A and B are shown apart, each in its own frame.
With several copies, the nearest count.
Chain A
Amino acid sequence: MSDIPVKNILEAALLAAGRPLTLEQMQGLFDLTEQPEKGALREALDELSSDYEVRGLELKEVASGWRIQVRKDMTQWVSRLWEERPAKYTRAFLETLAIIAYRQPITRGEIENIRGVSVSTNIMKSLQEREWVRVVGHRDVPGRPAMYGTTREFLDYFNLKSLDELPTLAELRDIDSINVELDLGVPGQFSADQEAADLDITAMPNDSDIVAHIPLAVEQDASGDTSQTLH
């Protein structure tokens, strides 16, 4: 050995062991004639410890000896090693999100009416965890069900300035036109003619549609059955 520092040997042994080592076990690494005193080992461990101060590791004495471990402040990166790639969202998730986007504010019951099947609590939870959907109020009917709407994060994620950039219903009916529209790279266009963010609301492709549709909505509402308007 001679020219190899004790701390190098200890470091290599601690890293290779994958378990804590006692001072006796560390002594056992050396030939009988060359075994360092425990004091010398402690010194070497101290050196190692201060070497680690500028790094992502630390030397720690635990019940069963000494071990090298990753420092806590490294967790945010290191824990990604074990992150599972998330599965894809289910069809039900996407449908629910789409319905909320187009029909907000909307209650879960109303979503279920549209989808024709019940919406699981998990879906509503994960939509909110993702911060794409939030409760925007409660409908004033028995049970006061929560009404859901989409968030700014939802718009940001899909690179939309406002919901109006979603294809209109008419366009949706023709799936090919959706493809064209998406392929055209709508976002670029919008970044070009931006002034104030507020302008987006009025700068819609078909302003006339707003005016045209309003009476319809009001008319349906006038029937006194709000849920009817949703189908």
Chain B
Amino acid sequence: MSETQTAPKSTADNPQQTEMPFAVVLGEPYTQLPQDLYIPPDALEVFLEAFEGPLDLLLYLIRRQNLDVLNIPVAEITRQYMDYIGMMQELRLEVAAEYLVMAAMLAEIKSRMLLPRPVEDDMDEDDPRAELVRRLQEYERYKQAAEDIDELPRMQRDLLPCSVPAPERQQAQTFPDVELKEILLAFKDVLKRAEMFKHHQITMEPLSVRERMSGILNLVSADEFLDFTQLFTIEEGRMGVVVTFLAVLELIKESLLEMIQAEPFAAIYVKARGAQLHKEIQYEDELPADKAAEA
């Protein structure tokens, strides 16, 4: 709201304002309205644009006179309000419907205030101004809140975001998490499907033999012979040795392993069949060094 544009010229051209005291301050009748209440008509257009509606205009009228919202001199405020509306219309400004609705409300309150009321009535409930006062206060608190929010330090205006370029993004590899259960469920589905397709039972070798087969393939190479006994770990006990032996047999059956014995009771050597095997196995760095160096 632009106070500079509302600077008063004089009250001389508004003689009706002196007709009656509108307030008594410290016992003195107050006959002069604050001078800055009046706005030169040429400033009116700008002035009106500064209002956010009838509540805002009313609050302005009240605050300019330092009146308490809870104790509005309705008749006086109504008259002032109507003056503005009248001026707006004289200037052929389009008066928004809300202003006229408020004018009607004010007129109604004014007339109700003039009606005598029984003294025993609870005057608070009956105060015709109550609703208006509520709305004025309600609006005023948000008007104030809007100003407060406007005062908050805000990005761009008061605070600035910081950012700096980062080095070339090296996309670290991340992998989804998997639960063992998911794999098992997947496998169960496979089994079901396989049964459906193949019409016969899937048989499974014990996994320990399967695992050992992979392990042995890791130990052996196609280029060098490995002492057969190196495949066994005595500490595993009898069952471990059996598992390894079965794995070796299986590998031989599958033509994955070659076994050589120069003469009866001589040392038995094993090597992987096929040349490409070597490359792949060499790639594995988890091969124990002592076993790799063997043979």
Contacts and interface: CB of A to CB of B under 8 A. Distances in A.
Nearest to B211: A163
A115 B200 CA distance: 14
A212 B249 CA distance: 16
A54 interface: no
A170 to B, nearest CB: 4
Contact of B159 (A70, A115, A147): A70
A184 interface: no
A63 interface: no
Interface string A210-229: 11111111111110111101
Contacts, number: 437
A166 B140 contact: no
B12 interface: no
A40 interface: no
A177 interface: yes
A70 B165 contact: yes
Interface in A174-231: 174-179, 182, 196, 198-202, 204-207, 209-222, 224-227, 229-231
Q: Is the interface of B mostly helix, strand, loop or mixed?
A: helix
B80 to A, nearest CB: 13
Contact of A166 (B68, B184, B186, B277): B184
B183 to A, nearest CB: 5
B70 interface: yes
A137 to B, nearest CB: 4
A159 B172 contact: no
A125 interface: no
A121 interface: no
Interface centre among B75, B190, B233 (most CB of A within 10 A): B190
B63 interface: yes
Interface residues of A, number: 118
A83 to B, nearest CB: 6
Contact of A175 (B76, B127, B175): B127
B161 A18 contact: yes
A118 B55 CA distance: 12
A130 to B, nearest CB: 6
Contact of B160 (A70, A84, A200): A70
Interface string B176-187: 101011111111
A99 B197 CA distance: 16
Contacts of B286: 151-152
B142 A114 contact: yes
